[in-house]
Amino acid sequence: MKKNRSTGVNVLVVMVIVLLGVLGSEKAAGREAPSAVFPEPSFTFAPVPEGMVVTHNYPVLNEGNDDLEIIRIETT
């Protein structure tokens, strides 16, 4: 049982070292995390008659150096 535990710890240590190496190589390659920027974070709609459809586009800029993937959008 002690051998299995030390093997698990060794695997965990190797995984952490590999992860740190990958993160370090991305920084060295000039890649950083994506950064979503909303130039217009809010918009106030004027009163709208019932049944009328109103839309507004919100631009999203990626100021990071890696691809920005938008997975989910929520409104408040």
Residue 75 lies in a domain: no
pLDDT more than 90, % of the chain: 34
Rounded mean pLDDT, 55-61:
91
Q: Which domain holds residue 53?
A: 2-62
- 72, part of any domain: no
Mean pLDDT of 49-60: 91
Residue 55, CB half-sphere, CA atoms under 13 Å: how many? 1
Let me know if residue 32 belongs to a domain. Answer: yes
- The model's pTM: 0.46
Rounded Cα gap, residues 71 and 42, in angstroms: 20
Residue 18 lies in a domain: yes
Token digits of residue 52: 């009328």
Domains identified in the chain, total number: 1
Rg over CA atoms, the chain: 23
Mean pLDDT of the chain: 73
